[in-house]
Structures are given as structure tokens and as C-alpha cells.
Amino acid sequence: MSRETDDLADVADIEEDLEDLALEDDYALNPEFVSDVADALDRGDAERLRELLSALHPADVADLMGFLSADAREELVPHLDPETLAEILSELDSEIREEVLEHVPSATLAKAIGEMESDDAADVVDDLEADKRAEVMAAMPETERAAIETSLAYEDETAGRLMQREVVAAPQFWTVGQAIDHFRRDAGDLPELFFDIYVVDPAYKPVGAVPVSLLLRSGRQVPLAQIMEPVNEIAVDLDQEEVAYIFDKYHLISAPVVDSAGRLVGQITVDDIVGVVQEEGEEDILALAGVSDAGRDASVMGIVRSRLPWLLINTLTAALAASVIGAFEGEIQKLAILAALMPVVASLGGNAGTQTLAVAVRALASRELSAFNAVRTVSREMVVGLMNGAALALLTGGAIYLMFHDLRLTLAFGLALMINLFVAAAAGAVIPLALDRMGRDPAVSSSVFVTFVTDFTGFFAFLGLAAIILL
Amino acid sequence: MSRETDDLADVADIEEDLEDLALEDDYALNPEFVSDVADALDRGDAERLRELLSALHPADVADLMGFLSADAREELVPHLDPETLAEILSELDSEIREEVLEHVPSATLAKAIGEMESDDAADVVDDLEADKRAEVMAAMPETERAAIETSLAYEDETAGRLMQREVVAAPQFWTVGQAIDHFRRDAGDLPELFFDIYVVDPAYKPVGAVPVSLLLRSGRQVPLAQIMEPVNEIAVDLDQEEVAYIFDKYHLISAPVVDSAGRLVGQITVDDIVGVVQEEGEEDILALAGVSDAGRDASVMGIVRSRLPWLLINTLTAALAASVIGAFEGEIQKLAILAALMPVVASLGGNAGTQTLAVAVRALASRELSAFNAVRTVSREMVVGLMNGAALALLTGGAIYLMFHDLRLTLAFGLALMINLFVAAAAGAVIPLALDRMGRDPAVSSSVFVTFVTDFTGFFAFLGLAAIILL
């Protein structure tokens, strides 16, 4: 601070204070700071707004926009310069991004997109409405446009869309010194950040990689071919979930992406993988609950649309399970306590089935469950189901006997509970395995099957046994 | 291949073939390959075993061990040299690791641990039984022992345990050239891989970071202070989930870890974060289902112990909800169809509540839901609940009317459904928010509360309305 004047030091202090105010200890945005921004927007106080926004990292500005109302966001957009806009766009939730993009003039957008890495640029262009997309693409230089079109030709959620086209490659016969001199001379052509230099053969196929830190500590005369390490090549059409699995398993920092002929076409870096792993985990949580996230800024109708289909499917299965009860109406009329106990049998089966299901879905996702140990896993689950069923039958059976002093009722309840927990364990393990074998995502739709099986079995076993033993 | 003899080329071909055989297209282990290994172990064929294992990356050997029986693993361990062992140990599932560690002689283990990075080494030592730990620590050189003891002093799942102590630091006044010369001269002291050079002040506090790729493309005479970038310092006692959040949000590759005085004590790199994000996502999936993963090699008793407590809690809440039904025994006896319809009301409420819960838990984890938008989010959920309830009431009400031609029954059912879906939405949003506010993990135990509320409300609303309207 010695070279700054006192005035500048004061400004710096204020900025430091604002930064401290903006984020809470856990790096979440401070609600008061969000209110300050909303107030400044209401008052149209551009000066204060500029001050507040300058305290934030672009990722935090994106986060902030998620907390503002749609109107406030629309007012905020003109206050962002193209460079900041470029950084924010790739951080925004997709439904908010679509809305923001509508309010940015095409020329500004073309400029902002030009500042982005190729993967982020393609994502943004993909979100544009057809008309606007044509305008923006027309306003971009030929080479950038071509690069984005190439990216968009790859399917969503594949390596091709995840990769950046900017890579650092060197021929096999170069030495460390030649590589370093080359990079220093042509620094402008290099990606902003890179972690590995890919060594390629004359056909531009990657044959190895040299981590930048290794390059730095090796002698200038050492040939790259001597220090290069083997690479895990990623096929350009590989699903992003598979890509994440490979990165996680082999602790990769970056990996070369190759086309069908094996030629280097781009690279994926691990910082993009963190986002993918996060996303895939979230998708599984939501899929198991039968919901697709409509996002924090979704409209009520958007949310209803995202949830109603699952509820309708569940209505059908619930009705089917209820029809079992209908078949035992006579028994229930004779002994109404059956109606109070049957949901307990069904509900505990549902809980046990959900437990097994969650474990199986997790194990399948991490490749810990495969054809090799499927039989062993399912049998073990079934033994666990029997034991849990026996334990619960003893406990709850005891309670029921104490309350009703009816040994036959106790017996029917306990047996039904054991049967349902056994069936729950089998269904919770077999259903996701079967879906996986059929090439479907086991997290999606497993739970409706499992719950149906445990409801149906719970009602049928308890009422059926009661009819036989009691009446 | 030009410099190899034909024999060597053949060996290389065989190895290439084995590698292809070992892994399936999705990088999961091939079940046949696992069987081959199991057979070689049964036959005691050390030669074949060596050949098979050499085709695998250490991460795949660790994966393989997860598929083998405990006996087979015990036989496999002596075939691994200390170097391979070191690489495998940090990849193993923790319950398998504990078991493997028992079968490795202390001296071998001390040597293997010496080859590891400090974070992995501490994890392994932490898994050792007290006796064995003392033996292994005694067999290690003084400095390594001290390093591990320091790591273990940090709490589990904090930045201190996640970080590696090996960092590359440079004083503020160095130039790019000085740094490069220094690294090349003292290459042996550097970590094997590094991505950022931390620039430190005389008190060893980080003031900035220079990515290695930036160092490489800058002129030799440029001062580090001129090209360094601001750093996100991580406090050594920060929870690993928070650390992962910061890495994900700011797309970090590495970050300096500082002690309470702000001094640089280590670094965390993004490749370790991928594992943390994976782990936290898996924990949420399991927590929502009320189960802690006992691991693919857990014993039946281990699994029972991990699941029974949750089932017992659910037994209590299910019994409480069932007691509502008991209170309406008279009504059910008069009209047994009520018994068949009431689980449908409860079950749809449960599904709707679970949907809202999953969305809320996800939003809380990604900090998209906070005090600032809590009221807005909960109100929106309640409106959605009402609308979904109305839609389902119309549809199922229609079906019920067609089946039973009873307008009053239809009315009771439809109204109960609307009430339950409204309550489900409120509970699904408010319960995780409340748990989070109390500083508890919203994924843990939310679902038992939500299901209880929807079961209770479903039974009470339907039977209560039926009693009023119908009887």
C-alpha cells in the first residue's frame, strides 16, 4: 500500500469492507447484501450498484441474479459491461440465462461470447432463440462462428460439448527447451490456463502428456518423448457421466479428447468435471424423488408441469394397491383394526425398500455393483430383509399383543411384516439392476416400482393372512 | 515399436490385449477378467496373477479387490510390491482397506506409506488399529512421522485433512527466471505435480498465486508480484463440503490452506475435490433414504445395524399415524371402502412431499435457497401443492364417482387430497429449511418427518371429512 495515496487506500478499505459484507463465512451471499442490491435497483442508483457489484466475483454476481426477481434482473443487465457479462453468462442457472439473454442486444452478446472459452460459448448460443441466434452468429467473426458450430454439432452432455478446443500440443521429437521457447514466443495463441502438454504423432494422435510442472523442472535438452506420461483418451461422443467417472477414478487433471479417427480435437479439464459430478449427483437425488428440478426461478406452472406426471403415475399404482384392500372389504368390516394396522406393514416395507434402492443406485453409479457381484448382493439384501423383518416383527408384535391381547392378530401382523421386508429387499435390489441392464438410468422410475411392490405386498400379505388365521 | 525385438512386441501385444479385456467400454471392470483373477488366486498361479495385475491401473486393482471375497483379497495382498500397495491403499473403500491393512506386515506398510502424499498417508494411518499404528509409526523416519502426526491433528473431513503439505512457494521479490531456475535446481524437493506457485510475504502468508502455465509463457525478467493472481485462502479447519463449494463456485484448480495466523500450511488440489463432491452427493442420496452405506463388502449384521434404527423410528411414526385410523374404526366398519381409499390419499401426499423435499435439499446444498428467498420459495411450493392437489382431485374424483356413483364420497376424497398435497408441499419445504437453520443436515431425517405429516394428514383429513359429509 506504500505507493498508494491515502485516498486510494480509503477506497480500497471500503471495497474490502463491501467484500466482507457480501459473503457470509460459508461463502454464501449475505441476504442483507442482496437486499442492498435490490434497493439500489429500485432507486435506480447506478453509482451504488456499480460499487456493490464491483465487490463481487462474477460467480457471485450470477448467484446474486438468482436471488433477484425477474424484473430486478432485467434492470441489472444494462449495468454489466460485455467482459463481466461473458464471465457471468457461463455461471447462470440455465432458465435464468435464457431470460437474461433475451434482454441483451445481439451485438453486445456477440462480443461477450467472443470472450468465452469454446465450451461455454457453445452452451450460451445453444440457449438462444432461433432468431436471436442467427443475429448473434452473424455479428461474430467467421472463425469464432465456425468453432461454435462445430461444438454444437456434438450432442448435449457428451465429451464434445464439455471439451474446450484450445489445447497445447507438441510433436514427439521436441525437447523441453524447444517447447518452452515455443510457448513463450507464441504466448498469445495459447489457452489462458493449461495443465498438460499433449505430445502428438504426425497424424495428430496423442501419444502422451507432459504435465506443465514436469516440463518446468526438467532439463532443457530432455526430449518430451522421454518424460511424457500415458494418457487416457476420451472419445468425443462419450457421455459426460462416463467422463466424470474416468476423471474421478484415475485422478486426472486434464485429458485429451479424440475424434473417431483418434485425432486430438480438444481437452477436458477437471474443473469442468466438478460441475458435472455435482450435477449428476443432484439429478440422482431428484430422479429418486420423481421430480426434475424446475430451478429456483421457475414459474408455478413450470413446477406443476415438472411434478404432476410423476404424481399421476403414482396415483395409478396407489389405486392398484388399494384394489387389494377392496377385495378384503368383508374382513375389514368384521375387524376394523385391520384397517389401522395394514398401512404400518405397507409403510415399513416401503421404507426398507427405499433403503435398499438408494444403496443399489449409489453402488451402480460408482460401478461397485456389476454382473460379477449382482447375485451375491441381491442374496445378501434378501437375508438382511429377513433379519430386519424378524427384528421388527418381534418388537411390533410384542406391542400389538400388549395392546390387543390377540395372539392370532399378532401372528398375522408379524408374518406379513417379515414377508413384506423380504420382498422389499428383493425389489429394492433387483429393480434398479434390471433397469441398469436394460440400459436405463436406475435412479429414474425405480422408486415407483418399489413402492408399488411393497404397498401391494403389505396389504395383500397382512389382509390375506388375517383372513386365513383370524376369520 | 521399431527398436523392440519381435519377442518384446509379442509381449506388448499380449499386454495390450489384457488391458482391452480388463475394462469394459465404460471403464468398469470386466466380470470375466475378475473371474480370471479369482481363478488364478484359487490355483495359486502367481505367474498368471502378475500378468493379469500388470494390465491394471492401481485404481482398477483397488476396484478389483472390492469384487473379490475377503479370502481372495488376503491371498492377493502378498503379490503386491510396496510401491503398488502405496498407490492402491489410497483408492480402496475404507472397510476393505481396514481389512487389507491387517494382513500387511508393519515394515512393508511403513515403506508404502512413505511413498504416499501426506493427505493419503494420514488417512491410511488413521485406519490402523492402535497396536499396528504404533509399530508402523516406529518404523518410519522421524520427519515422515511428524508430518503424519500433524495431519492427524486436524479433524476428519476438514481442509486440514484434505490438504497436502507439499506446496511450491516463492517470495514476492522473485522474478519468473529466478523461480524457474530454483525449481529446476531443487526439483527433488518439489511435489510430483503442482499447478500454482504461491507467492508469500516474509511471514509466509500467501499474497497471490501464479499458475504454472502463466509462469511458462512469461518473460524471465517479469517479477512474480506483477503476474500473480488473487487467491481464495482456505482456513485449515473448514469443512470439506464448504471447501468443495468454493472450488466449484470459483472453478479453482488449487487453493492455499492457511492456519489461524494466516500462514501457508498446505494446498488442496481440485482432483481431491472431485472425490469430495462425489462423496457428499452419495451421502445425501443415502441420508434421504434413511440409510448409511455399509459398503459393498459389509457383513449382513453390519448392514442390519445400519438400517434397523431408521426402520424403528419409522415404526413409531407409522404407529402414530395408524392411531388416527383407530379413532375412526366405527366409520370404517360402516363403510369399508374408506379403508381402501385412505392409503391413496396418504401415499400421494407422501410422494408430493418427497418431491418438494428433494428439491429443497438440493437447493440448500447448492446455496440456492437462503433466508433471502425462503419465504418466496415456501409460498410458491404451497401454491404448487394446491394446484397439483386440485388437478389430482379432479382426475381421481372423476374416477371414484364413475366407480361408486357417490358424490359425497367423491367430495370427501377430493377435498382430503387437496388438503394433503397442500400440507405436503408446506412440510416438504419448511422441514429441511428448519433443520438447516438449526445447523443440522437437511438431508438427514427430513423424510421421516415429511412422511409422518403426510400420512397423518392424509388419514385424518379423509376419514374426518368422510365422517362429517357421509355418515
Output the pLDDT for position A70: 85
Distance from CA of B97 to the nearest CA of A (A): 15
Q: Which of A221, A246, A296, A436 to mutate to test the interface with B (most CBs of B within 10 A)?
A: A296
Q: How far apart are CA A284 and CA A330, in angstroms?
A: 43
Rounded to the nearest integer, the mean pLDDT of chain B is 89
Report residue B160: phi and psi, to 5°: -60, -35
Location of C-alpha cell 428448519:
B434
Exposed (0-12), middle (13-18) or buried (19+): which is B234, by Cβ within 10 Å?
buried
For A367, other C-beta atoms within 10 Å of its C-beta total 16
| CA R_g for chain B | 30
- Yes or no: say if B251 and A57 are a contact pair by the CB < 8 Å rule: no
Q: Quick one: cell of B100?
A: 487389507
Exposed (0-12), middle (13-18) or buried (19+): which is B148, by Cβ within 10 Å?
buried
Q: Which residues of B touch A329 (CB under 8 A)?
A: 336-337, 339-340
Cross-chain residue pair A344–B355, CB shorter than 8 Å: no
Q: Quick one: cell of A256?
A: 485429451
Cross-chain residue pair A384–B303, CB shorter than 8 Å: yes
Q: How far apart are CA B180 and CA B218, in angstroms?
A: 11
Q: How far apart are CA A463 and CA A455, in angstroms?
A: 12
Q: Quick one: cell of B217?
A: 509463457
- Yes or no: say if A104 and A80 are a contact pair by the CB < 8 Å rule: no
Query: What class, spelled out in words, does domain B300-470 have in CATH?
Result: mainly alpha
For A17, other C-beta atoms within 10 Å of its C-beta total 11
Q: How far apart are CA B329 and CA B324, in angstroms?
A: 9
Label residue B171 by pLDDT band (50, 70, 90): very high
Buried b (16+ CB within 10 A) or exposed e, A3-13: eeeeeeeeeee
For chain A, give the number of residues: 471
Segments in B23-117 forming alpha helices (H): 31-43, 46-54, 58-67, 70-76, 82-89, 94-102, 106-114
Closest CA to B449 of B468, B412, B424: B424
Which residue ranges make up each domain of chain B?
A: 6-162, 169-286, 300-470
Over residues B432-456, the mean pLDDT reads: 93
Closest CA to B162 of B68, B71, B265, B13: B265
Handedness of CA B209, B211, B214, B219 (dihedral sign): positive
Handedness of CA A287, A288, A290, A295 (dihedral sign): negative
Over residues A423-429, the mean pLDDT reads: 97
Q: How far apart are CA A149 and CA A123, in angstroms?
A: 11
CATH 3.10.580.10 fits B169-286, yes or no: yes
Closest CA to A26 of B207, B258, B240: B240
- Tell me the per-residue pLDDT of B205-214, one tens digit each, with 9 for 90 and over: 999 999 998 9
Q: How far apart are CA B191 and CA B271, in angstroms?
A: 15
Q: Which residues of B touch A360 (CB under 8 A)?
A: none
Distance from CA of A86 to the nearest CA of B (A): 15
Output the pLDDT for position B178: 93
Query: What class, spelled out in words, does domain B6-162 have in CATH?
Result: mainly alpha
Over residues B177-192, the mean pLDDT reads: 83
CA atoms within 13 A on the CB side of A265: 21
Q: Which residues of A touch B187 (CB under 8 A)?
A: 217-218
Report residue B291: phi and psi, to 5°: -150, 140
Q: How far apart are CA A458 and CA A156, in angstroms?
A: 42
Over residues A336-351, the mean pLDDT reads: 95
Cross-chain residue pair B399–A59, CB shorter than 8 Å: no
Rounded to the nearest integer, the mean pLDDT of chain A is 89
Say if A6-161 and A169-288 have the same CATH topology. Answer: no
Query: Does residue A54 surpass a pLDDT of 90?
Result: no
Task: Report the greatest alpha carbon distance in chain B.
Answer: 95
Q: Which residues of B touch A191 (CB under 8 A)?
A: 213
Q: How many helices, marked H, and strands, marked E, lie in chain B?
A: 23, 6
Location of C-alpha cell 450435477:
A279
More confident residue, A372 or A256: A256
Q: How far apart are CA B82 and CA A213, in angstroms?
A: 26
Location of C-alpha cell 433466508:
B371
Report residue B257: phi and psi, to 5°: -105, 135
Closest CA to B444 of B288, B282, B279: B288
Cross-chain residue pair B183–A216, CB shorter than 8 Å: yes
- Tell me the per-residue pLDDT of A373-397, one tens digit each, with 9 for 90 and over: 899 999 999 999 999 999 999 999 9
Cross-chain residue pair B216–A282, CB shorter than 8 Å: no
CA distance between the termini of chain A = 90
Output the pLDDT for position B15: 58
Report residue A104: phi and psi, to 5°: -100, 130
Say how far residue A305 (Cα) sits from the centre of its chain. 21
CA atoms within 13 A on the CB side of B420: 36
> What's the ipTM?
0.87
- Tell me the per-residue pLDDT of A128-146, one tens digit each, with 9 for 90 and over: 888 889 999 999 889 888 8
Distance from CA of A135 to the nearest CA of B (A): 31
Give the contacts of B284 (CB within 8 A, at least 6 positions apart): A281, A285, B361, B365, B443
Closest CA to A125 of A149, A142, A92, A99: A149
CATH 1.25.60.10 fits A6-161, yes or no: yes
Q: How many helices, marked H, and strands, marked E, lie in chain A?
A: 23, 6
- Yes or no: say if A458 and A345 are a contact pair by the CB < 8 Å rule: yes
Handedness of CA A385, A387, A390, A393 (dihedral sign): negative
Q: Quick one: cell of B101?
A: 491393512
Q: Which residues of A touch B93 (CB under 8 A)?
A: 368
**Nearest Cβ partner for B296 among A63, A363, A396:** A363
Q: Quick one: cell of B412?
A: 370427501
Q: Which of B217, B333, B370 to mutate to test the interface with A (most CBs of A within 10 A)?
A: B217
Location of C-alpha cell 468465452:
A116
Output the pLDDT for position A3: 43
- Yes or no: say if B34 and B68 are a contact pair by the CB < 8 Å rule: yes
The SS3 of residue A192 is coil
Over residues A297-312, the mean pLDDT reads: 89
Exposed (0-12), middle (13-18) or buried (19+): which is A101, by Cβ within 10 Å?
buried
Q: How far apart are CA B17 and CA B1, in angstroms?
A: 16
Q: How far apart are CA A256 and CA B123, in angstroms?
A: 31
Over residues B74-102, the mean pLDDT reads: 86
- Yes or no: say if A429 and A293 are a contact pair by the CB < 8 Å rule: no
Output the pLDDT for position A455: 96
CA distance between the termini of chain B = 90
Query: Does residue A97 surpass a pLDDT of 70?
Result: yes
Q: How far apart are CA A372 and CA B30, in angstroms?
A: 8
Fold of the A169-288 domain: CBS-domain (3.10.580)
- Tell me the per-residue pLDDT of B329-384, one tens digit each, with 9 for 90 and over: 999 999 999 999 999 999 999 999 999 999 999 999 888 888 888 999 999 999 99
Over residues B27-38, the mean pLDDT reads: 87
- Tell me the per-residue pLDDT of B279-312, one tens digit each, with 9 for 90 and over: 889 999 999 999 887 677 788 888 999 899 999 9
Report residue B208: phi and psi, to 5°: 180, 175
**Nearest Cβ partner for A388 among B304, B384, B387:** B304
Q: Which residues of A touch B66 (CB under 8 A)?
A: 368
Distance from CA of B372 to the nearest CA of A (A): 5
Segments in A335-406 forming alpha helices (H): 337-365, 374-404
Over residues A21-29, the mean pLDDT reads: 80
Label residue A107 by pLDDT band (50, 70, 90): confident
Distance from CA of B134 to the nearest CA of A (A): 31
Q: Which of A271, A357, A400 to mutate to test the interface with B (most CBs of B within 10 A)?
A: A271
Handedness of CA B422, B425, B428, B432 (dihedral sign): negative
Size of interface A-B (CB pairs under 8 A): 374
Fold of the A300-469 domain: Tetracycline Repressor; domain 2 (1.10.357)
